Amino acid sequence: MASYYFLLFVLVAASAISEADAKKKLSKDFYCSSCPELLSIVNQGVINAIKKETRIGASLLRLHFHDCFVNGCDASILLDDTSSFIGEKTAAANNNSARGFNVIDDIKANVEKACPGVVSCADILTLAARDSVVHLGGPSWNVGLGRRDSITASRSDANNSIPAPFLNLSALKTNFANQGLSAKDLVALSGAHTIGLARCVQFRAHIYNDSNVDSLFRKSLQNKCPRSGNDNVLEPLDHQTPTHFDNLYFKNLLAKKALLHSDQELFNGSSTDNLVRKYATDNAKFFKAFAKGMVKMSSIKPLTGSNGQIRTNCRKIN
Ligand code: HEM
Ligand SMILES: *[C@@H]1O[C@H](CO)[C@@H](O)[C@H](O)[C@H]1NC(C)=O
Ligand SMILES: *[C@@H]1O[C@H](CO)[C@@H](O)[C@H](O)[C@H]1NC(C)=O
Ligand SMILES: *[C@@H]1O[C@H](CO)[C@@H](O)[C@H](O)[C@H]1NC(C)=O
Ligand SMILES: *[C@@H]1O[C@H](CO)[C@@H](O)[C@H](O)[C@H]1NC(C)=O
Ligand SMILES: *[C@@H]1O[C@H](CO)[C@@H](O)[C@H](O)[C@H]1NC(C)=O
């Protein structure tokens, strides 16, 4: 018995050390001397991309989320499928949906010119997500750097780990808890749906079958998204200001005007209602909780030290 407890102690202590280690290794100054231009190159790349297409800011933010939820923020989502390798791009949540890969390629090419072989794709994606939020009017935060890139990817892990829009609140909470994220993080980070678009196929069940939908809102969406067909028709996640990062997403939930079932689940008569009310009333509290949640999400299981590699091309391992 005593030796069992001793072993347990060693295991718990070891995992606590490795977690602290990973967090310590992420530092905002990681590339200060090895790539001083990094932050301005990424920022300029994001500005140029948003100038071309406003939606891309939303797409980059989601790309980072879908990277982090599948075995950590390790750029695994950026790996292309090949004849001998199946990656995450064709996983259920990403196929015909995840976008922004070319923007990351362009930024990576510029970073490689300035400081070859030094900066990971995972760090570039993390910075691009932050810069996207900032340029669309959202909060800013310090990004810890020093992630390395995976040499693997997993479609089945992507299928299982990225939350689906038909989940109920308890399943959403469990999904986030599996990543070390709280119910508060779930609500705040869902506020990312203040920007960007979703396809008819993702919200059809919500606008035809859920009771908790404003009737005029339901009618106008049903006109655009019929019971069958038009699967790829796009609608804004925040119907009021889809290219501006603000707290109107939460006001929409109070008015039963969420586009996704998973969004309305956050305000549907249970434990997260009060957080939704709080963020709908107080934009500053939302921004603060969102920034905090992003720092947590961006720190999920990074590869550091000599683990993984610094990919030359984000789409393939070296
Ligand atoms: C809470 C669970 C979540 C679910 C079930 C969910 C689900 C979805 C779905 C179904 C779409 C539309 C995809 C399509 O139609 O192709 C979407 C879009 C989006 N999601 Fe989420 N999401 C969740 C959380 C998050 C989080 C945590 C973030 C970021 C922090 C995020 C950021 C976005 C953004 C920005 C878009 C729009 C992307 C674009 O326009 O390209 N989502 N989400
Ligand atoms: C991904 O989408 C393409 C194009 O719609 C489709 O042909 C393919 O079967 C999909 N792949 C998976 C794994 O669902
Ligand atoms: C993941 O989901 C895709 C699309 O739904 C499906 O075609 C594929 O079989 C699944 N793959 C794995 C490995 O779970
Ligand atoms: C939520 O969904 C899970 C999985 O589908 C199910 O087991 C559970 O009963 C549901 N919970 C509620 C409160 O509806
Ligand atoms: C709505 O629910 C019914 C009954 O469960 C189901 O047959 C139908 O496919 C659902 N409709 C949509 C659009 O998901
Ligand atoms: C909200 O609660 C109702 C009643 O319990 C339930 O039917 C519905 O599926 C829930 N979710 C949404 C998004 O309406």
Same-domain pairing of 267 and 156? no
Shared domain for 271 and 176, answered yes or no, is yes
Residues 42 and 152 in one domain: yes
Q: Which atom of ligand 4 is nearest to the CA of 168?
A: 1
Ligand at minimal distance from the CA of 207 is 5
Q: Which residues are annotated as a binding site for Ca(2+)?
A: 67, 70, 72, 74, 76, 88, 194, 238, 241, 246
pLDDT tens for each residue of the chain, 318 residues long = 445 554 444 444 445 445 555 555 899 999 999 999 999 999 999 999 999 999 999 999 999 999 999 999 999 999 999 999 999 999 999 999 999 999 999 999 999 999 999 999 999 999 999 999 999 999 999 999 999 999 999 999 999 999 999 999 999 999 999 999 999 999 999 999 999 999 999 999 999 999 999 999 999 999 999 999 999 999 999 999 999 999 999 999 999 999 999 999 999 999 999 999 999 999 999 999 999 999 999 999 999 999 999 999 999 999
Shortest-distance Cα residue to atom 4 of ligand 4? 171
Q: What is the DSSP string of the chain?
A: -HHHHHHHHHHHHHHHHHHHHHHHH-BTTTTTTT-TTHHHHHHHHHHHHHHH-TTHHHHHHHHHHHHHTTTSSSSGGGPPPBTTB--STTSTTTTTT---HHHHHHHHHHHHHHSTTTS-HHHHHHHHHHHHHHHTT----PPPB--BB-S---HHHHHHHSPPTT--HHHHHHHHHTTT--HHHHHHHHGGGGS-EEEHHHHHHHHHH-S-S-HHHHHHHHHHS-SSS-TT-EEESSSS-TTS-STHHHHHHHTT--SSHHHHHTSSSSTTHHHHHHHHH-HHHHHHHHHHHHHHHTTSS-B-TTSSB--SBTTB--
Parent domain of 232: 169-297
Q: Are residues 131 and 194 in the same domain?
A: no
Domain assignment present for residue 17? The answer is no
**One domain, residues 243 and 146:** no
Q: Is 232 in the pocket of ligand 2 (CB under 6 A)?
A: no
Q: Which atom of ligand 6 is nearest to 209's Cα?
A: 9
Total structural domains within the chain: 2
The answer on 235 and 119 residing in a single domain is: no
Does a structural domain hold residue 9? no
Please indicate, yes or no, whether residues 173 and 145 belong to a single structural domain of this protein.
no
Same-domain status, 153 and 181 = no
- Establish if 44 belongs to a structural domain: yes
Decide which of 161, 188, 205 is a domain's last residue: 161
Whose Cα sits closest to atom 25 in ligand 1? 190
| Last residue within a domain, chosen from 139, 161, 183 | 161
